[in-house]
Structure 1
Amino acid sequence: MKMEDIAKIAGVSKSAVSLAFSGKPGISLETRERILQIAQESGYLPKGKSPTLDHTAKSLTFLVIANSGIVLEQYYQQPFFRELIHFIEERCRAKGYSLLFSSIDMEFFDRDIRMVAEEKKSNGVVLLGTNLDREQIADIAGKIQPLVVLDTCFDTLPIHFVEINNFMGAYQAGNHLCKIGHNDIGYIESNVRIHNFEERKRGFTAAIHEHGREIPDTHRFSVAPTILSSQDSLKAQLEAFLKKGNRLPTAVFCECDYIAISAMKTLQELGYRVPDDVSVIGFDNITEAVIVSPELTTVHVEKQRMAYLAVDLLIESIELEQSAGTKIRVDTHFIERQSSRVK
């Protein structure tokens, strides 16, 4: 039997079979399991090896629960997560561990988490917590250990967390805008709410309040957080705002770089110049921040440090059997580029 035959029986592409054997992301857990089961039943040995995992090797699993809001099914193509994965893999190699990938659909949350827990294919799990709430993480932690949750935090859970200092980053952005003379400030938020965005809203609001500024309700806009192109919904909101006789804010803070880049393109389509008419600030410092024109002023997230800390904390839990939960918050720093200017 050949790889093409496995693909035909499973009803998938040859590349999907390759991903299943390599343990790389790109297919769902259900698809991966189906492919491996077919291969095993057929006696297929890829490159002289069994498609089942070598349980004597040291490995960690990067577990993602995908949905249609923040963490997409093709999450490994999203700039922020792509960078995190790169650094996680890098740290695993340095520590003598391989990295496996497991992605499940939020729709099958209970079933697939149970499946991951029962199979226990690696020594420990780094869970991407970006889009998960407290109850979901508590449920996972009750079934899977050792576990480190990356990119969110819930202080009342006795679990290892490594997160961004979201409050600090947004505070830095708000402080910057006020210091360069902006009084009329707008806020573009995600229409999908998660812990990180709520903390950024708190931090930005705290900064401008310290400078005696407020954001009127009319200056708050809401858009999808995973679109890099211009958005019709934002264009409609801005046009409705302008038709009421309002003037655009001189600066806007966006809850992530995706939103900031989308906002810049939308503003340009409406005939506004960034930063001459409107300064735009983002959050995350994804690689695309220096590709767009003008280059994006943003909050830099130490993705490498977060990834390294998560891997180190998990390996410590495995090798030293440390059970007490640890909360780590990684500070940010502000990067001023060409999308903002003095008012």
Structure 2
Amino acid sequence: MTVNKAPRIEDVARIAGVSTATVSRCLNNPDSVRASTRLTVEAAIEETGYTPHFGGRALAMNRTHTIGAVIPTMENAIFARGLQAVQERLSDSGTTLLLACSSYDPEREASQIRTLIQRGVDGLLLIGEARPESSYELLKMRNIPVVLVWCNGETTDHLCIGFDNREAARRMALAVCDYGHRDIAMVAGITSWNDRAARRVEGVREALESVGLTLDETNLIEADYTLEAGAQALRKLMNGSNRPTAVICGNDVLAAGVLQAAKQIGLRVPEELSITGFDDIELASVMDPALTTVHVPHRRMGWTAADKLLEMQSGSADGSNVSFATDLIIRSSLARKS
């Protein structure tokens, strides 16, 4: 059996009629080589099928041109759309995105951070601020640039690209109150190690207290971000002694589950029960009824986070947080209390 040997840089140099050093410069610093020589080398690379050895290039340049990202879940469309924007920006600069998923587990995230550092990533993108201090200490010790997204830097000095989760939820809750609702419940995400979910609960609680209402254990349920968890939460609320006329949800997936359960138990939405979400995923506008929600600028966050990471590598980042505005999207799932 004949085994084809992988093409070497010497093969490219021989075909192009140049030195291996010139081939290396074409690969690593093309602007330093005359255009005619570069085109000749590129043609030789294509002819031979040569690909540079990743480890060797990384060692020579002290960079791997990779960025790592750890997200809580791949099941939430909002993270997928944000990461698509990150990937688009990084790809334009010749940088590869390595992705891991923590399933909202801080220990698993810490392990993935260590693994990505061992892989030699040039920087890391993480979701939110809440994680063990040991993870931050490791990043500092290894001098790894890090950008946190979906947050605005309330509890950390690290660079944050996001929005004010508390304020966005507060505005939504005030809108529900303005529609005349007084029996209001919330189905929130799990707040442990999730600053985004915790801030949204704080915002709703602050809004309700400002109009003389409360958000306590009788009208607050924390749930996993799944349709079934949202549905179970509504059934529990409706079996209680203080049935709500409006349910504020921590994200659109929970809201979809609440809406599904409402229909199953015979509640008319929004005539008997108003429902709101958070994120404005594509599903929100095609639900029946269409979901009132908070629009999150996920793509702008992704683009900006990628730009900041690239700037941090080049030493040109100014270190300033970027906080985007969110918008209330009022749709037909929210109605005035009759």
Give the alignment's TM-score, normalised by structure 1.
0.72
Residues 231 and 315 (structure 1 numbering): CA distance in 2 closer, same or farther, change over 3 Å?
A: closer
* 1:278 alignment partner AA: L
Mapped to 1, the partners of 2:176 and 2:235 lie a distance apart of 26
Q: How does 1:14-53 map to 2 (within 5 A)?
A: 49=51, 52=54
Contact 1:162 1:310 in 2 (8 A): yes
2:239 is paired with a residue whose SS is helix
Aligned to 1:268: 263
Shift of 1:333: 0.9
Contact 1:279 1:341 in 2 (8 A): yes
Aligned to 1:128: 126
1:59 pairs with 2:53: no
Residues 111 and 220 (structure 1 numbering): CA distance in 2 closer, same or farther, change over 3 Å?
A: closer
Mapped to 1, the partners of 2:239 and 2:280 lie a distance apart of 30
Aligned to 2:98: 101
Deviation string 1:132-189 (CA, Å, 9 cap, x unpaired) is: 4252541342235222122235545432111221012111101111111112111112
Aligned to 2:248: 253
Contact 2:249 2:276 in 1 (8 A): yes
Shift of 1:130: 3.7
* 1:146 alignment partner AA: P
Aligned to 1:180: 179
Counterpart pick for 1:314 among 306, 309, 332: 309
1:211 pairs with 2:218: no
1:341 pairs with 2:335: yes
Give the alignment's TM-score, normalised by structure 2.
0.73
Q: Which has the larger radius of gyration?
A: 2
Residues 86 and 293 (structure 1 numbering): CA distance in 2 closer, same or farther, change over 3 Å?
A: same
Shift of 1:216: 5.0
Q: How does 1:148-159 map to 2 (within 5 A)?
A: 148-152=147-151, 154-155=153-154, 157-159=156-158
- Between 1:130-139 and 1:83-92, the stretch displaced more is 130-139
Aligned to 1:90: 88
Aligned to 2:323: 329
Aligned to 2:221: 221
1:218 is paired with a residue whose SS is coil
* 1:84 alignment partner AA: G
1:78 pairs with 2:76: yes
Residues 288 and 313 (structure 1 numbering): CA distance in 2 closer, same or farther, change over 3 Å?
A: same
* 1:224 alignment partner AA: D
- Between 1:299-308 and 1:231-240, the stretch displaced more is 231-240
Mapped to 2, the partners of 1:240 and 1:307 lie a distance apart of 41
Shift of 1:199: 1.0
Deviation string 1:17-52 (CA, Å, 9 cap, x unpaired) is: xxxxxxxxxxxxxxxxxxxxxxxxxxxxxx764684
Residues 337 and 61 (structure 1 numbering): CA distance in 2 closer, same or farther, change over 3 Å?
A: same
Residues 50 and 233 (structure 1 numbering): CA distance in 2 closer, same or farther, change over 3 Å?
A: farther
Contact 1:170 1:200 in 2 (8 A): yes
- Once superposed, what is the RMSD of the aligned Cα atoms? 2.9
Unaligned runs of 5+ in 1: 2-46, 66-70
Residues 113 and 211 (structure 1 numbering): CA distance in 2 closer, same or farther, change over 3 Å?
A: closer
Residues 108 and 295 (structure 1 numbering): CA distance in 2 closer, same or farther, change over 3 Å?
A: closer
Aligned residues: 281
